[in-house]
Structure formats: C-alpha cells, structure tokens
Amino acid sequence: DSKTDYPAACNATETILLHEATMDSCAESVLRALRQASVKLKAGPRAIELGLLTAADAADSMAIEYGDLTCLVEVVSDMDAAITHIHEHGSSHTECIVTENPDTAEYFQQRVDAACVFHNAS
C-alpha cells in the first residue's frame, strides 16, 4: 500500500531493506506481493549477492526516489546496518520498520533521523 496507492507521493516506499535472517521466512513472499502489484524491483549489491534478485535488476543508485512503481530491494545484516543505510541513502523524510518486536521498533525509532519514523505502518 505504501508504494502502490500513490507511488509519486513524497512518502511512498522507495527502498525495502530486508534483514538477512528473514531470507527464508518472508523475503520471497514480499517480492511476490510487490511483483503481483506490478512493482518493478531494483536490486542492491547484497540482494544480488544472495540471489534474491539478479544483476540485470541492479539499481543505478542506492539513493533514488523513483516516484513510480519501482522499488529498490536490499539486504542488511542487522539493525545498525539498516540505520546506516538509511542515513547514507535516505531522504530524511519518512522511514518505517515492520517488526513484531517492540524493542526492535523502539531502537529503530530512537536512532533514525527522519521527519517521520513509523512502526508497522503503510
């Protein structure tokens, strides 16, 4: 919903960071749902390295705001790597974490520098 409802919105999803521990449990279902919604997927280096997407899907940049039905997918090793990625490549506008762990959500929300930081929102 945060990508497909209005992809040109300034708070639409542009990058999805997947924790490497979720590769077996949810990565494929997330990508399948995005593809079924006609979202074009671009790959970060780790997503290619781990075989989630192919080199043909490689993103030109890790900091593009597509403004259409295109989304970057990258894999991170841990929360701090995700936060570093966001600080290096994000827009500082809107960030969101999807997790069932409230401690993880709080850690994220306290450390990400963005105008809006959400937990389990679309």
Q: What is the pLDDT of residues 16-60, one digit of tens each?
A: 999 999 888 889 999 999 999 999 999 999 999 999 999 999 999
Distance of alpha carbon 104 from the chain centroid: 16
| Per-domain boundaries in the chain | 15-119
Tokens of 11: 């708070």
Amino acid at 12: A
Largest CA distance in the chain: 37
Question: In which band, very low, low, confident or very high, does the pLDDT at 113 lie, cut at 50, 70 and 90?
Answer: very high
Residue 118 CB contacts under 8 Å (≥ 6 apart), including other chains? 94, 95, 96, 97
Tens digit of each residue's pLDDT (9 = 90 or more) over 65-105: 999 999 999 999 999 999 999 999 999 999 999 999 999 99
User: Residue 25: its pLDDT value, please?
Assistant: 82
Q: Please give the class, per CATH, of domain 15-119.
A: alpha beta
Residue 94 token pair? 């809107």
Model confidence pLDDT, tens digit, residues 2-12 = 889 989 998 89
The residue type found at 25 is S
Q: How confident is the model at residue 111 (pLDDT cuts 50, 70, 90)?
A: very high
In this prediction, residue 67 carries a pLDDT of 93
